[in-house]
Amino acid sequence: MDTRDFLDLLRATYLRREAELKQQFDRSLPFGDALFDRWERARRLNFGEKASIYNSSLVYGDVRVGASTWIGPYTILDGSGGGITIGDYCSISAGVHIYTHDTVFWALSGGKLSKQTAAVQIGSCVYVGSQCVITSGVRIGARCVLAANSFVNRDVPEGTVVGGSPAKVIGHVVGEGDSVRLTMLSQDLKK
């Protein structure tokens, strides 16, 4: 099969799959996410039962993910500097970056200092909003919410809602199971 025929076959396969996804789920996905099963990928990565991870997600180093956890598209799970552990029933939204190392002091020192490394731990039942960045050494307790676009560079206690850059406490998770709710801290909006 020559290159042109192969590309034609790939295009036809993708277009068939796109039509199926549109009919079944009313969605259109990029090539890799459309063709490859995200639950199968999670099994290949030894993630927990019923976990899933999109094909567009990058996974480096030691990354452990619990049961029924969803890893959204375009995420970076970089466990190469100490490992990442994510609990059960978590949602790691699109575009989240989790790092276990940084090279700030290496760069600033002209290579005289080494990169900094530390593991990241995320408890069970945690929601991480889109485009969050979680830095090395952070521990996030169970039943937490990290608001979209937050820069999380400090530990987050269990049952806490954080948001911002850098992330600050903006509320709490109250209750468990089907009686869970969010209570937000009052904010003075006066100028």
DSSP E strands: which ranges in 16-144?
52-53, 58-65, 70-71, 76-86, 91-92, 97-99, 101-102, 116-117, 120-122, 127-128, 133-134, 139-140
Are 121 and 109 members of one domain?
yes
Q: What is the pLDDT of residue 1?
A: 84
Are 81 and 115 members of one domain?
yes
Q: Residues 66, 45: contact at Cβ < 8 Å? A: no
Torsion of CA 132, 106, 137, 148, to 10 degrees: -10
Q: What is the pLDDT of residue 187?
A: 61
Range of the domain at 23: 1-35
DSSP letter (8 states) at residue 167: E
Amino acid letter, residue 189: L
Higher pLDDT, 27 or 95: 95
Higher pLDDT, 187 or 118: 118
To the nearest whole number, what is the mean pLDDT of the chain? Answer: 94
**Total tally of structural domains belonging to the chain:** 2
Cα angle for residues 28, 97, 104 (degrees, 5° grid): 145
* Among candidate residues 124, 111, 112, the one with its CA nearest the CA of residue 173: 124
Residue 188 lies in a domain: no
* Among candidate residues 68, 90, 64, 76, the one with its CA nearest the CA of residue 145: 90
Are 89 and 27 members of one domain?
no
> 25 φ, ψ to 5°?
-125, 0
* pLDDT one-digit tens code per residue, 40-62: 999 999 999 999 999 999 999 99
E strand or H helix at 134, and its extent?
strand 133-134
Residue 89 lies in a domain: yes
Are 48 and 102 members of one domain?
yes
Q: Residues 83, 102: contact at Cβ < 8 Å? A: no
Q: What number is the average pLDDT over the span 7-12? A: 92
Partners of residue 160 on adjacent β-strands:
172
